[in-house]
């Protein structure tokens, strides 16, 4: 069969290559390489994400409308953030408002960073008339249990002197009055879905302060202080709601943002990549395809536990379509990646060889990967 006679399109659905290419850039570069060898190929790019950084960009690439907002950053400074809107669904990425990368000068603030901006993004989506909020967690600077988020949505947190608590997780140790305010009315008729694969509880050795606090600059003393403060916060929330979700899988996601969303926004959690693939219309895109290409910066054992390429592979093979992987680094053995559903795997580092730089020149080698895919799999 000649290339012109080949049937079926190719779907290119990678996650970001962290530090080198966004998901959209990776998809376009791979597509460019395929077209160079097989110009008649019908290619459909569908950048993906797993609920963390890049989630909003993936939704925008799939046709969602961009809405910009100025919100409070993790330490109170104004930052520019975006949400993705389609009909009555808004996709919100906590890292857009409360992310580690937004800290002024990169100076970490483990005790005082707040999730207020994330709540402000939710409020903006509600102003637009959205009734379904998809909240992507990960990459945040705060460990405040979602306190800042719910304050931005109408809840009042005060100390024994009836003074509003300052931002940050450490201040929750002084919480004395918890007033739901307008929160229930604000969220009436609204569905909140958390897109996350983190299953950590809020507290303890696997909790948000212990596991993720050090990444945010927390010392061992800070971790102990935050854990105690979040325990007090969880006690107060349980008293208010007559339910205790501190031990729920995912409560510890994003510095406890998962806890705040589950306990006070009535949220439910779905695996990030599965939820995003549904939102992006992957099932429609893959229908009738002859090949799916996915990938990320490093294909390793973590990939096998719910990260985007594994989710794409499962969905593609479930639809009866072969899937191949492109990665900056390939750390899985061939039996491992074949077991995950991939029929082939291409590493930019291997394509670059000892004299190339697959990180700095990732775009170049992603195109080369596309050429190899076309030569190996699309030359009928």
329 strand-pairing partners: 298
Neighbouring residues of 67: CB distance < 8 A, sequence distance ≥ 6: 82, 83, 84, 85, 90, 124, 125, 128
The pairing of beta strand 43-45 with beta strand 9-12: parallel
Tell me how far CA of residue 219 lies from CA of 102, 224, 282, in angstroms: 20, 9, 42
Tokens 């699309």 belong to 378
Residue intervals of the chain classified under CATH 3.40.50.10350 are: 3-46+288-377
Domain over 55-272 is classified CATH 2.120.10.30:
no
Distance CA 82, CA 27 (A): 21
Digit-coded pLDDT (tens) for 40-90:
999 999 999 888 888 999 999 889 999 999 999 999 999 999 999 999 999
| pLDDT at residue number 305 | 80
Distance CA 266, CA 180 (A): 13
| pLDDT at residue number 380 | 65
Q: What CATH number was assigned to the domain covering residues 3-46+288-377?
A: 3.40.50.10350
Let me know: does 314 contact 295? Beta carbons within 8 Å. Answer: no
Residue intervals of the chain classified under CATH 3.90.1510.10 are: 55-272
Let me know: does 88 contact 132? Beta carbons within 8 Å. Answer: yes
| pLDDT at residue number 43 | 97
What pTM value is reported for the model? 0.89
Closest by CA to 146, choosing from 86, 192, 197, is 192
Question: For every one of its 380 residues, what pLDDT tens digit does the chain have, with 9 covering 90 and above?
Answer: 333 335 799 999 999 998 899 999 999 999 999 999 999 999 999 999 888 888 999 999 889 999 999 999 999 999 999 999 999 999 999 999 999 999 999 999 999 999 999 999 999 999 999 999 999 998 899 999 999 999 999 999 999 999 999 999 999 999 999 999 999 899 999 999 999 888 999 999 999 999 999 999 999 999 999 999 999 999 999 999 999 999 999 999 999 999 999 999 999 999 888 899 998 999 999 999 999 999 999 999 988 887 899 999 999 999 999 999 999 999 999 999 999 999 999 999 999 999 888 989 999 999 999 999 999 999 86
Distance CA 250, CA 276 (A): 17
**Cα-flanking dihedrals φ and ψ of residue 247, to 5°?**
-95, 5
**What value, to the nearest 5°, has the Cα angle with vertex 76 and ends 105 and 172?**
115
268-270 β-sheet, strand order: 65-72, 78-86, 89-93, 132-136, 191-195, 268-270
């Amino acid at each position: 069969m000649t290339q012109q006679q080949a049937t079926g399109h190719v779907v290119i659905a990678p996650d970001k290559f962290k530090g080198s290419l966004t998901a959209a850039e990776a998809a376009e570069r791979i597509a460019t390489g395929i077209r160079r060898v097989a110009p008649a190929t019908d290619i459909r790019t569908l950048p993906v994400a797993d609920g963390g950084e890049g989630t909003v960009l993936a939704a925008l690439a799939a046709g969602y409308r961009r809405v910009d907002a100025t919100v409070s950053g993790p330490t109170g400074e104004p930052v520019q953030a975006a949400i993705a809107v389609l009909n009555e669904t808004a996709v919100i990425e906590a890292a857009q408002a409360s992310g580690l990368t937004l800290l002024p000068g990169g100076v970490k603030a483990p005790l005082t960073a707040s999730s207020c901006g994330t709540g402000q993004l939710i409020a903006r989506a509600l102003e637009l008339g959205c009734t379904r909020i998809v909240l992507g967690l990960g990459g945040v600077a705060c460990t405040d249990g979602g306190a800042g988020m719910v304050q931005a949505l109408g809840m009042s947190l005060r100390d024994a002197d009836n003074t509003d608590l300052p931002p940050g997780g450490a201040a929750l140790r002084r919480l004395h009055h918890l007033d739901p305010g307008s929160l229930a009315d604000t969220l009436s008729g609204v569905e909140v879905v958390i897109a996350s694969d983190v299953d950590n509880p809020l507290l303890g050795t696997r909790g948000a302060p212990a596991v993720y606090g050090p990444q945010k600059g927390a010392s061992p003393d800070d971790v102990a202080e935050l854990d105690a403060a979040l325990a007090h916060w969880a006690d107060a929330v349980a008293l208010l709601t007559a339910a205790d979700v501190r031990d729920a899988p995912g409560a510890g996601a994003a510095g406890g943002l998962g806890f705040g969303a589950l306990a006070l926004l009535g949220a439910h959690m779905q695996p990030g990549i599965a939820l995003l693939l549904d939102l992006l219309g992957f099932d429609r895109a893959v229908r009738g395809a002859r090949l799916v290409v996915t990938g990320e910066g490093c294909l390793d054992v973590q990939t096998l536990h719910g990260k985007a390429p594994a989710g794409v592979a499962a969905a593609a093979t479930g639809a009866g379509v072969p899937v191949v992987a492109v990665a900056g680094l390939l750390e899985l053995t061939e039996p491992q990646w074949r077991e995950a559903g991939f029929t082939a795997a291409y590493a930019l580092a291997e394509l670059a060889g000892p004299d190339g730089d697959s990180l700095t020149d990732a775009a170049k080698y992603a195109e080369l990967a596309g050429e190899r895919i076309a030569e190996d799999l699309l030359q009928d």
